[in-house]
Chain A
């Protein structure tokens, strides 16, 4: 295999490599592995795409992401060959126009791609979907796939906080965020199935999420009561979903398996639960100060009952089941708003 990306001579000492990566601007601040030819070639052998295939163009600098260049970044992240096709699938999803990479890579918002993986590959690749799935479980797949995508956005897309992106705070997911859905503990079809993929297909869904918004309750076991409180929590007044129109963007709701079982008993069809959430995810217009009220009225966001709904439709609240067995918690991944979740199947040779 002939690689065409530029070769650079670096010290063989890992510590000196780390320093060099920081100086060169390749680094996300954390030590990386060397992108040697054998490491890159092993990754390329795991994808059906040729090395010189231009998979996409990544903003903000519109760098051309060839499969080889993606493999270089994935090698640096420590990605295993079997996991590399998921990195590719994620970037294919990110580059779909409706994901709005153009806006999301430059915004003042903290938004960043958050990957949700469905399919049989989760255990084999170490995609975290149980306890600590959003931090702490340290599955190899979760940590390296997420990081590989992040490095591609940095090194190929040129996304650098304070320079080419105006993100005010960033967020921890900018190191990389990749979780799985605990499909076997979900009373409903998986996220990928609901989006039209067969259950035995590995799929990566990319959500433009602003962070992890923790929700907790220890007082009430009733499914509808809990979901009502969740809906009200999702509709926090400074949500991005109140800044523009109600019909763009989704908010992902990660439900722990114990609550999922409870909710599944109350709502056998997930669409019914989504409708319940949508119907209750609103705030009274009086909650906002007057200047904000005027704008919400101007944008047509206030209904006849003086309610400002978070989202236009139930499909914009997207439940997934994951997390540990300790119950008590859900996590929302609030939306940037002007971005539509995208899924892409994982392609293998």
Chain B
């Protein structure tokens, strides 16, 4: 018989999967105060968010916009504070953009801040980072976080294409927020 020995497994026990409940608006978007988080790194998302901001106000919502740009240092601390303030002040939020590894991680993290306040939230990621976004959400205990997937790559597209994408995906973001017609 082959000789064997005992060793210790080096991996951590997987955390029990906690899936925080998601919340829907369950009412029309008119009259709702919507938060939009943009990211200074991505002009494409700034433009799409700007279009959605116009449409939301056209449809009777009020909006608050916050732009993040840092993860650490004073900039990072300020950003996290602004996200917390946004999450407290709005009734629902659209948080983007996840189109790189760390920015996807922080998009999800900031979306979870809103979700932890039992408010509807949609995280925006691009296709290449969809799986990563879901993984991060799961690890943060929000495996059911609503994630809207935009085409990838996004950044170098001309303005007309980005506006077309904004038009195409606007109804989906409302639907994911749980806005009724």
Contacts and interface: CB of A to CB of B under 8 A. Distances in A.
Determine whether A and B are in direct contact in the complex, meaning some CB atoms lie less than 8 angstroms apart. Answer: yes
A347 to B, nearest CB: 22
B143 interface: no
B2 interface: yes
Nearest to B156: A291
Contact of A167 (B2, B73, B101, B105): B101
A72 interface: yes
Contacts of A125: none
A6 B10 CA distance: 8
Contacts, number: 166
A6 B8 CA distance: 6
B100 A26 contact: no
A340 B72 contact: yes
B52 interface: no
Interface stretch (A132-140, A241-249, A322-330): A241-249
Nearest to A75: B8
Interface in A1-21: 3, 5-13, 17
A11 B73 contact: no
A233 interface: no
B160 interface: no
Contact of A7 (B2, B7, B132, B136): B7
B32 to A, nearest CB: 30
Contacts of A158: 11-12
B75 interface: yes
B75 to A, nearest CB: 5
A245 B70 contact: yes
Interface string B66-95: 000111111110000000000000000000
Given A6-B9, A100-B72, 8 more contacts: A10-B4, A26-B11, A69-B12, A102-B109, A107-B102, A109-B101, A157-B12, A164-B135
